[in-house]
């Protein structure tokens, strides 16, 4: 574990306060609240290692799915915090280590949400941790919110902090292994979904949660979910350890997810460093003669040949942050040395070269060969970075801190996605300097105040080169399929124009249907659909039963092959086969509608606002419509989810399930706060069916 140097330097007053009972909340007590605490702002890092043997990992589903968020309140930057709708608890902390050591303590905490009045959530004896148990109640809809926190310390001094709260739908399930890695899953809308496992990227301080990745990629995730995938997001407990260790954990997760889903093959990959983790895992498994049960490998803007971070900036950081173990950790770790083309902590590049030499030798060329396709994605076009000259200026506000400017270097001007903004705008990439801890030591009475430096970023350096993301050697990519954006974006901004190409590659693949019962309305899409009792050795042998009352449509743009073992039962069962060479899938407002035996059947993509699928009166009633801001929903079935979309099909509001779960006689009233007058689409999912209809809000 690395901490700031001052951890062993305490004032007499602080030492006395440590002895006061109940000063620290206690990590054990926090663990009793939630099984999955994650930092969203950090002041310390726990360094650890997991096994490089996938057999050492043991996964289990947890019954407590609550999302726990640690917010370290000392830094004054306004930072985003990502939470799940109706499924979160927030802990405000001043701890500088997991054990409870701190520079200051809180005696009072007040909260203001979205500009409202402050209200008190804690007042009493000094604490390093204050849990806001009711946090979910104050963020009742998806989207962005403002949170302000007023803190009174043990000396009676008051400090204000501010956070951008970003709310996403709650996950469906939570899994955890014996090393602390976690999987959260957002389930698709079909009863027979395909698991999609995605590994996180580089995360030096364990602050990039699954919720953050969901939020950044929500347009892609929502489309994948609507086309029948369960999205599993993998959080690595130690994001800076040797990539090979995290690859072993990734492999164990792939096999576990396949196993709990009737041993079906899945889609698996990762973003940024996650693409390298998953590639290493795939290639290692095949090299050892034990292939992963996955039929597509996907790598999203990953440094397959290395990543670029300014040499001059790295050297500046190393020089100015020497002795600050926390700040150093951003670059002085195993994964960074393996990833970076130049590392200030491995200037000769021995670790980087050794890793890529080993990876490229695995399984012949470092890639899986038994997958249907390997997909490489770049967040840039093959256009040279147009930026030149200076791109960053750092100016100190405290004593003995001067001004430093940085110019773009040659490898930062090649085609490639741009360096994320937050790597140069937030602590601890640049702004943590040891002089600050010295100032704090001299003036312990203001422990929540840190002098800062101003950072002016005027242009963008390349971070993941185009040739690296697509692993291009001598003009040829090692990927079977490559996807690139038409306009270069930052590494942490998902280009909208690549979403549909990605989804088409995932959906329009060869699908094997074996050893399963199809007993509901289902739309199966692929390039080639092959069904039967024994058509693949990837899943156990067994019949494909289309049960009484099911409506199953199979659409392919190349071929459909039904062999022995396909059984259709009952007079009310519908099976419709269609081959369409021009078939493609789409996201958002481009609705695809199908007809089965003259009954309109809606696939789970969003409907066009101009042609809504009216909800049958005998199943769901919504009134009044038009409305002044309050509606009643009457159902004959249990509601799974309710969402309201605008006419551009962007999510405007999620109605928390706690409201309709408690409905009496299936009749529930809902207030729709902050909805401007206009036309919306209300989406209601009940027992495997999703309905859409127009909702009009009047002044």
Q: How far, in Å, CA of 63 to CA of 557, rounded?
A: 41
The set of residues, in sequence order, having a beta carbon less than 8 Å from that of 203 and lying 6+ positions away, is 236, 239, 240
pLDDT tens for each residue of 243-280: 999 999 999 999 999 999 989 999 999 999 999 999 99
* pLDDT over 80 at 644, yes or no: yes
pTM of the model: 0.79
Q: How far, in Å, CA of 503 to CA of 506, rounded?
A: 5
Domain 608-697 coded CATH 1.10.357.10: no
Q: What confidence score (pLDDT) does residue 665 get?
A: 60
Which of 154-163, 296-305, 684-693 ranks highest by mean pLDDT?
296-305
Q: How far, in Å, CA of 169 to CA of 640, rounded?
A: 12
Structural element, H or E, at residue 152: strand 143-153
Nearest to 267 by CA among 503, 584, 468, 501: 503
Q: How far, in Å, CA of 306 to CA of 283, rounded?
A: 18
Q: What confidence score (pLDDT) does residue 492 get?
A: 93
* pLDDT over 80 at 19, yes or no: no
Q: DSSP class of residue 135?
A: G
Q: DSSP class of residue 22?
A: T
pLDDT tens for each residue of 296-353: 999 999 999 999 999 999 998 888 778 778 888 999 999 999 999 999 999 999 999 9
Q: Helix H segments across 491-601?
A: 499-507
% of the chain exceeding 90 in pLDDT: 53
Q: What confidence score (pLDDT) does residue 556 get?
A: 87
pLDDT band at 58 (very low <50, low <70, confident <90, very high): very high
* pLDDT over 60 at 504, yes or no: yes
Structural element, H or E, at residue 642: strand 639-645
Top-confidence residue, 408 or 589: 408
Q: Which of 175-179, 360-364, 500-504, 620-624 has the lowest mean pLDDT?
A: 620-624
Q: What confidence score (pLDDT) does residue 472 get?
A: 98
Q: How far, in Å, CA of 343 to CA of 329, rounded?
A: 13
Q: How far, in Å, CA of 626 to CA of 314, rounded?
A: 59
Q: Which of 69-78, 206-215, 289-298, 665-674 has the lowest mean pLDDT?
A: 665-674
Residue range 130-155: mean pLDDT, rounded:
94
Q: How far, in Å, CA of 686 to CA of 641, rounded?
A: 7
Contact criterion met (CB below 8 Å) for 501 and 395: no
Q: What confidence score (pLDDT) does residue 698 get?
A: 84
Nearest to 532 by CA among 518, 517, 544: 544
Place of tokens 């062993």: 8
Q: How far, in Å, CA of 280 to CA of 54, rounded?
A: 13
pLDDT band at 663 (very low <50, low <70, confident <90, very high): low
Do 5-33+66-168 and 608-697 show the same overall fold?
yes
Residue range 528-542: mean pLDDT, rounded:
89
Q: What confidence score (pLDDT) does residue 432 get?
A: 47
Angle between helices 273-287 and 243-260 in degrees, nearest 10: 70
Q: Is 569 exposed, middle or buried (0-12, 13-18, 19+ CB in 10 A)?
A: middle
User: CA-CA-CA-CA torsion for 407, 409, 414, 419, nearest 10 degrees?
Assistant: -60
% of the chain exceeding 70 in pLDDT: 83
Q: Which of 18-22, 139-143, 162-166, 535-539 has the lowest mean pLDDT?
A: 18-22
Q: What confidence score (pLDDT) does residue 151 get?
A: 95
DSSP for 218-256, please give it. Answer: HHHHHHHHHTTEEEEEEE-S-TTS-HHHHHHHHHHHHHH
Nearest to 197 by CA among 295, 118, 130, 103: 295
Contact criterion met (CB below 8 Å) for 249 and 235: no
* pLDDT over 60 at 428, yes or no: no
Top-confidence residue, 55 or 398: 55
What integer best gives the mean pLDDT of the chain? 84
Q: How far, in Å, CA of 97 to CA of 49, rounded?
A: 18
Q: Helix H segments across 236-369?
A: 243-260, 273-287, 311-320, 325-328, 334-339, 350-361
List beta partners, residue 512.
530
Q: Could you state, in order of their start, the residue ranges of all structural domains in the chain?
A: 5-33+66-168, 172-507, 508-599, 608-697
DSSP for 44-111, please give it. Answer: -B------S-GGG--EEEES--PEEEEEE-SS---EEEEEETT-EEEEEE-BSSTT--BS--EEEEEE
* CATH ID of 172-507, from 3.30.1220, 1.10.150, 3.40.50, 1.20.120: 3.40.50
Start-to-end Cα distance in the chain: 57
Q: How far, in Å, CA of 303 to CA of 8, rounded?
A: 39
Q: Which of 54-68, 461-475, 566-580 has the lowest mean pLDDT?
A: 566-580
The set of residues, in sequence order, having a beta carbon less than 8 Å from that of 418 and lying 6+ positions away, is 380, 385, 460, 461, 462, 463, 488, 489, 490, 491
Residue range 180-207: mean pLDDT, rounded:
90
* pLDDT over 80 at 689, yes or no: no
* pLDDT over 90 at 394, yes or no: no
Phi, psi of 361 (to 5 degrees): -85, -15
Q: Is 573 exposed, middle or buried (0-12, 13-18, 19+ CB in 10 A)?
A: middle
pLDDT band at 28 (very low <50, low <70, confident <90, very high): low
Nearest to 47 by CA among 231, 314, 196, 237: 237
The set of residues, in sequence order, having a beta carbon less than 8 Å from that of 592 and lying 6+ positions away, is 585, 586, 603, 605
Q: How far, in Å, CA of 383 to CA of 560, rounded?
A: 41
Residue range 378-389: mean pLDDT, rounded:
96
Q: Helix H segments across 299-433?
A: 311-320, 325-328, 334-339, 350-361, 422-425
* pLDDT over 80 at 659, yes or no: no
pLDDT band at 588 (very low <50, low <70, confident <90, very high): low
Q: What confidence score (pLDDT) does residue 437 get?
A: 40
pLDDT band at 507 (very low <50, low <70, confident <90, very high): very high
Contact criterion met (CB below 8 Å) for 465 and 301: no
Q: What confidence score (pLDDT) does residue 652 get?
A: 77
Within its chain, how far is the Cα of 115 from the centroid?
A: 28
Top-confidence residue, 400 or 520: 520
529: left (phi over 0), alpha (psi -120 to 50) or beta: beta
Contact criterion met (CB below 8 Å) for 179 and 249: yes
Q: How far, in Å, CA of 582 to CA of 504, rounded?
A: 12
DSSP for 466-495, please give it. Answer: HHHHTTEETTEESSSEEEE-SS--BTTS--
Place of tokens 């699908």: 511
Phi, psi of 220 (to 5 degrees): -70, -45
Q: How far, in Å, CA of 533 to CA of 586, rounded?
A: 31
Length of the chain (residues): 699
Q: What confidence score (pLDDT) does residue 444 get?
A: 42
* pLDDT over 60 at 211, yes or no: yes
Domain 5-33+66-168 coded CATH 2.60.40.10: yes
Write the secondary structure of 595-619 as one string of H (helix), E (strand) and C (coil).
EECCEEEECCCCCCCCCCCCCCCCC
Q: What confidence score (pLDDT) does residue 620 get?
A: 79
User: CA-CA-CA-CA torsion for 464, 40, 198, 342, nearest 10 degrees?
Assistant: 30
* pLDDT over 50 at 591, yes or no: no
């Amino acid at each position: 574990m690395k901490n700031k140097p001052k951890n062993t330097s305490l004032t007499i007053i602080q030492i006395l306060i440590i002895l006061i009972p109940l000063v620290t909340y206690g990590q054990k007590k926090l663990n009793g609240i939630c099984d999955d605490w994650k930092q969203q702002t950090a002041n310390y890092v726990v360094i650890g290692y997991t096994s490089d043997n996938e057999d050492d990992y043991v996964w289990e589903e947890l019954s407590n799915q609550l999302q726990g968020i640690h917010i370290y309140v000392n830094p004054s930057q306004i930072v985003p915090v990502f939470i799940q709708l109706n499924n979160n608890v927030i802990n405000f902390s001043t701890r500088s280590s997991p054990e409870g050591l701190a520079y200051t303590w809180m005696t009072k905490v007040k909260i203001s949400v979205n500009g409202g009045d402050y209200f008190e959530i804690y007042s009493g004896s000094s604490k390093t941790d204050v849990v806001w148990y009711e946090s979910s109640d104050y963020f009742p809809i998806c989207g962005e919110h403002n949170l302000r926190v007023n803190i009174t310390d043990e000396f009676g001094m008051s400090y204000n902090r501010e956070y951008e709260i970003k709310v996403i739908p709650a996950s469906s399930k939570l899994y955890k292994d014996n090393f602390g890695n976690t999987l959260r899953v957002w389930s698709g809308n079909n009863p027979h979904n395909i698991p999609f496992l995605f590994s996180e990227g580089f995360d030096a301080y364990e602050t990039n949660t699954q919720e953050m990745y969901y939020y950044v990629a929500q347009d892609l995730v929502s489309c994948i979910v609507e086309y029948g995938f369960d999205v599993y997001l993998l959080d690595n407990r130690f994001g800076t350890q040797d990539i090979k260790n995290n690859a072993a954990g990734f492999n164990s997760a792939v096999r576990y997810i396949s196993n709990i889903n009737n041993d079906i093959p899945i889609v698996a990959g990762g973003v940024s460093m996650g693409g390298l983790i998953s590639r290493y895992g795939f290639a290692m498994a095949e090299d050892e003669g034990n292939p992963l049960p996955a039929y597509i490998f996907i790598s999203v803007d990953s440094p397959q040949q290395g990543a670029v971070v300014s040499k001059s900036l790295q050297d500046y950081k190393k020089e100015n942050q020497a002795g600050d173990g926390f700040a150093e950790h951003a670059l002085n770790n195993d994964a960074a040395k393996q990833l970076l083309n130049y590392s200030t902590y491995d200037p000769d590049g021995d670790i980087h070269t050794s890793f890529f030499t080993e990876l490229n030798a695995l399984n012949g060329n470092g890639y899986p060969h038994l997958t249907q396709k390997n997909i490489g994605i770049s967040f840039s076009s093959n256009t040279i970075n147009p930026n030149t000259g200076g791109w960053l200026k750092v100016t100190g506000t405290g004593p003995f801190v001067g001004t430093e400017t940085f110019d773009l270097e040659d490898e930062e001007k090649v085609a490639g996605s741009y360096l994320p903004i937050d790597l140069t705008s937030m602590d601890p990439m640049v702004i943590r300097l040891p002089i600050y801890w010295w100032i704090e030591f001299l003036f312990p009475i203001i422990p929540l105040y840190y002098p800062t430096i101003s950072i002016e970023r005027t242009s963008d350096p390349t971070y993941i080169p185009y040739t690296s993301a697509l692993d291009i050697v001598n003009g040829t990519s090692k990927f079977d399929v490559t996807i690139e954006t038409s306009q270069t974006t930052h590494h942490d901004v998902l280009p909208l124009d690549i979403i549909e190409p990605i989804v088409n590659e995932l959906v329009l693949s060869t699908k094997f249907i074996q050893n399963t019962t199809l007993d509901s309305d289902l739309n199966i899409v692929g390039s080639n659909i092959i069904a039967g009792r024994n058509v693949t050795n990837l899943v156990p042998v067994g019949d494909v039963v289309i049960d009484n009352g099911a409506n199953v449509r199979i659409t392919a743009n190349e071929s459909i092959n039904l062999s022995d073992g396909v059984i259709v039962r009952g007079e009310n069962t519908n099976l419709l086969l269609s081959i369409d060479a021009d078939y493609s899938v789409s996201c958002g407002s481009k609705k695809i509608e199908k007809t089965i035996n003259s009954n309109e059947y809606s696939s789970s993509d969003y409907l066009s606002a101009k042609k809504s699928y009216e909800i049958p009166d005998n199943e769901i009633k919504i009134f009044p419509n038009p409305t002044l801001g309050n509606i009643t929903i009457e159902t004959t079935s249990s509601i799974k989810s309710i969402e309201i979309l605008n006419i551009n099909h962007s999510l405007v509001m999620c109605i928390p399930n706690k409201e309709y779960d408690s409905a009496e006689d299936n009749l529930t009233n809902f207030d729709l706060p902050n909805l401007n007058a206009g036309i919306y689409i209300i989406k209601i999912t009940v027992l495997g069916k999703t309905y859409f209809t127009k909702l009009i809000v009047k002044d």
